[in-house]
Amino acid sequence: MNENQTGKQGSLRPSKTAGWKHSAAVRWALMFMFVLLFYFSVAPHVVPETYDIQEGGVSEKDIKAPFQIKDDKATRQAEEEAASKVDFTYSIVFLRNEMLVDQIFMRIEQLNADDQVTLQNKIDIYRNEIPGRYKEYIENFVKVNRGTDTYNDELLEEMATVVQEQEYTIPEETFYKIPNLPSESIPEMREVARNIVKKLSGEQLREAETARTQVAELVNASTLSSRTSREIVQELARFAIMPNKFLDKTATDEAKVLAKQNTPPVVIKEGELIVKRGQTITPDLYKLLADSSLLQDKKNYWPQLGLLTMSIMFIVALYAYLHLSGAINGVKPKYNNASLLMLWLIFLINLITFQIVSLMQTDAAPYAGYLAPAALGVMLITLLLDMHLAMISSILFAIMGSIILNTGQNQLFDFQFGFVMIVVSFAAMFSIHRASQRSTILKAGIMVSLFGSLSVLAILLMSEQLERIGFIYSIGFAFASGIITAILVIGLMPFFEVTFGILSALKLVELSNPNHPLLRKLLTETPGTYHHSVMVGNLSEAAAEAIGADGLLCRVGSFYHDIGKTKRPNYFIENQNNMENPHDTIDPKLSKSIIVAHARDGVELLKGYNIPKPLRDIAEQHHGTTSLKFFYYKALKQAEEQGIDPTFTEEDFRYPGPKAQSKEAAVVGIADCVEAAVRSLRNPTVEQVEAMIHKIIKSRLDDNQFNECDLTLKELDKVAQSLKESVIGIFHSRIEYPEDVKAKERLE
């Protein structure tokens, strides 16, 4: 009952169960244990081991790379070696030397036509001006192209230097011949010289002399007939020819940089030996170990911080779910601290199986990871706790499994394993969440095998990893994982059920078997009570499911709730067939003692058969502290007849309790009264049944019987409606509907 529904009953809040199961301190300790479990399960695969080693010392053990490590020194050496193998880069500079030829012949044509200049002056001018034009042409070319994208400045400087070094020296006699050239021959000479220079400069020339040797042959093959003209053209053409292929230092440096960039880093693969036992730690080795955070005094704490943060996030996710579902507040008995401890053990067991399988993995056989029973924890949580909690847990298992089983280089998660784990977890949940027999676990294991194999097949086909042996092993391991999971779940279920007193659906179904010794005892010794218990089971199951309580627990609890009546069966009316009622001849106080004892006797009998506590609680609490008013009033009447004052009160004629501590116990208690009351009516009507149910519930409510459980008034209304529908359905032939009553009245 909640606080706003107290009415005249006063505070009807459920009492808090004392002890560690509901202790806030224990709860936070369990949360801390979860963080430690998550951290230390993943730490060996994320946080590398560190070593106490000094530079110049000797290693006492082999040190292997915990992950792929880049060897900076070896990488630099490899880069320098790659750069040293790069050939020099030469670039072509298009100087267009024919333009220099045009300039020289234009000047010759102009100066030769000037009669005011003497022959000697012309010779002196040509001797000074023609070589000068060579230098001037190069300087202008550099000036025009400097700072542009066509040629870099270093290339232009290199070109200017080389061209000047390879400048051709025109023989002195040529300068004496040029002034005497006839003006009509100059255009033809220019054209021949221009064509020869353009043709020879079209080739790649690092040495101009290579092309200059071909000038004489080309001049002789030209149309020039005059010997002097050919000699002058030959010399001027040689003079105009320049090298055009030059060392490009900038391009060479860029090629060297590119070669370094394209050089793959030298790495020490995961698992490779870095230092042998007994090896001296050189400065280079010490630096390598320090840069890899493998030294205790150079330890990198960022991975630990990241892992701790992730572990805290995991427990926050679990806490958020449990808090939102009301579990942390102890509203639901199965989510108390004992349930959290059981959840922790399930996580521990599943993570241990991951660690064991990871030891079987190698670089050559990473597919061994598919053997991990990924759905083990999820199946246990679904069966023992809750399917929705199992969904949350499946995500955590997939994340941690993808880290623990990861065999990839330089990657934290292997989502191939994570994907398979998510698939098999959901397949397991949907296959087993309505399990009613142990064989269902095996069927769920087969479903896990099938879906695990299909998911692995999908991954292999998408990644085109169709290597035959690996393909077969991967699918085979995935299939075997489901069978292993089912075997482990079947083996672990009794441990959790016994250790934590868990009543799983499977256990409840087993206990509901009519062949159970106690139920056979109930049937053979107290057939009336057995029939009553079965009827109460039908009524209470429907009522419990109407308010979201455990219907199966109510049904099975009803089967055993009156098992104590087998000790004195004849003192209970449903077993008194064709016999006198013994209570008619004994003292009411003795009758009361016999009646109330059946709850205590039932608990003792259930303990003797190791029946789980939730069922014993129902047997003990279904009457609560209700009053046996019949025997109380009978005792009062006897005292009055004897003319003595009563030495007892109504409190002496009550059940010892305790009151119902759970919704299930309360519902079974209500259904127990309703079934007995309906059975006592000869020709009940719908109105009578409805009024009787509300009267029973109101009587218990007024008697404060629901003070210690969390039933609300709204839920009690739902219980009443469900009981009405069930009673009408079960006793349909006995209940008269309004039309039947009217017809009967007319006949009378």
Which residues partner with 91 through β-bridges? 246
DSSP string across 320-376? HHHHHTTTTTT-SGGGSHHHHHHHHHHHHHHHHHHHHHHHH--SS-GGGGGGS-TTH
- Give how far Cα 114 sits from Cα of 109, 128, 173, 477, Å: 9, 18, 21, 103
Number of domains in the chain: 4
DSSP string across 172-219? HHHHHHGGG--GGGHHHHHHHHHHHHHHHHTS--S-HHHHHTTHHHHH
Which residues partner with 246 through β-bridges? 91
As a whole number, mean pLDDT of residues 212-221 equals 89
383 touches 398 (CB < 8 A):
no
* Class of residue 557 by CB neighbours under 10 A (exposed 0-12, middle 13-18, buried 19+): buried
Q: Which residue has the tokens 């993808």?
A: 402
pLDDT at res. 67: 62
pLDDT category at 439 given cuts 50, 70, 90 is confident
- Check whether 343 has a pLDDT greater than 90: yes
Q: Position 731: which residue type? A: F
Same domain, 192 and 144: yes
* Residue 261 domain-assigned (yes or no): no
- Give how far Cα 61 sits from Cα of 52, 66, 194, 269, 701, Å: 11, 14, 80, 18, 75
* Residue 79 domain-assigned (yes or no): no
* Residue 81 domain-assigned (yes or no): no
- Check whether 10 has a pLDDT greater than 50: no
Q: Position 460: which residue type? A: L
3-class secondary structure, 91 = strand
- Check whether 22 has a pLDDT greater than 50: yes
* Residue 283 domain-assigned (yes or no): yes
* Residue 77 domain-assigned (yes or no): no
- 304's CB contacts (< 8 A; 6+ apart) are 43, 47
**How many CA atoms are closer than 13 Å to the CA of 597, on its beta-carbon side?**
13
Same domain, 393 and 472: yes
pLDDT at res. 674: 92
Which residue among 475, 497, 519 closes a domain? 497
- Check whether 744 has a pLDDT greater than 70: no
Distance CA 505, CA 306 (A): 40
Which residue among 447, 478, 497 closes a domain? 497
433 touches 502 (CB < 8 A):
no
Which residues partner with 92 through β-bridges? 245
pLDDT category at 670 given cuts 50, 70, 90 is very high
The dihedral sign for the CA sequence 421, 424, 428, 430: positive
- Check whether 473 has a pLDDT greater than 90: no
First to last CA, the chain: 47
- Check whether 378 has a pLDDT greater than 80: yes
- Check whether 17 has a pLDDT greater than 60: no
For the chain, what is the mean pLDDT? 83
**How many CA atoms are closer than 13 Å to the CA of 449, on its beta-carbon side?**
17
109 touches 115 (CB < 8 A):
no
- Check whether 2 has a pLDDT greater than 60: no
pLDDT category at 673 given cuts 50, 70, 90 is very high
- Check whether 687 has a pLDDT greater than 90: no
Which of 19-28, 49-58, 65-74, 718-727 is predicted most confidently?
A: 718-727
As a whole number, mean pLDDT of residues 257-276 equals 79
Max CA-CA distance within the chain? 177
CATH code for the domain in which residue 547 is found: 1.10.3210
Same domain, 206 and 331: no
CB neighbourhood size of 440 (10 A): 19
pLDDT at res. 323: 75
Which of 444-448, 704-708, 734-738 comes out lowest in average pLDDT?
A: 734-738
- Check whether 299 has a pLDDT greater than 80: no
Which of 146-155, 280-289, 623-632 is predicted most confidently?
A: 623-632
Q: Which residue has the tokens 């055993």?
A: 560
pLDDT category at 671 given cuts 50, 70, 90 is very high
| pLDDT 10s digits, 72-128 | 788 888 888 888 888 888 888 888 888 988 888 898 888 888 888 888 898 889 888
CB neighbourhood size of 600 (10 A): 15
Same domain, 63 and 153: no
Which of 321-330, 416-425, 474-483, 673-682 comes out lowest in average pLDDT?
A: 321-330
pLDDT category at 51 given cuts 50, 70, 90 is low
Same domain, 293 and 214: no
Ranges assigned E (strand) in 533-581: none
Same domain, 101 and 60: no
The pTM is what? 0.61
- Give how far Cα 368 sits from Cα of 344, 358, 466, 607, 655, Å: 26, 8, 16, 46, 62
* Residue 253 domain-assigned (yes or no): no
Same domain, 423 and 363: yes
By residue range, what is the domain housing residue 596?
508-747
pLDDT at res. 307: 86
Same domain, 607 and 689: yes
Same domain, 113 and 229: yes
pLDDT at res. 112: 87
* Residue 83 domain-assigned (yes or no): no
As a whole number, mean pLDDT of residues 332-349 equals 82
Which of 55-59, 633-637, 739-743 is predicted most confidently?
A: 633-637
CB neighbourhood size of 501 (10 A): 12
Residues 688-709 as b or e (16 or more Cβ within 10 Å = b): bbbebbeebbeebbebebbbbb
Phi, psi of 589, rounded to the nearest 5 degrees: -65, -40
Same domain, 668 and 556: yes
- Check whether 463 has a pLDDT greater than 80: no
- Check whether 349 has a pLDDT greater than 60: yes
Which of 1-15, 234-248, 560-574 comes out lowest in average pLDDT?
A: 1-15
Phi, psi of 64, rounded to the nearest 5 degrees: -105, 155
pLDDT at res. 70: 74
- Check whether 628 has a pLDDT greater than 50: yes
Same domain, 287 and 307: no
Give percent of the chain with pLDDT exceeding 70: 89
Same domain, 284 and 318: no
Which of 58-72, 320-334, 603-617 is predicted most confidently?
A: 603-617
* Residue 254 domain-assigned (yes or no): no
Q: Bigger pLDDT: 295 or 529?
A: 529
- Check whether 428 has a pLDDT greater than 70: yes
Both tokens of residue 585?
């001849």
| pLDDT 10s digits, 303-317 | 778 889 999 999 998
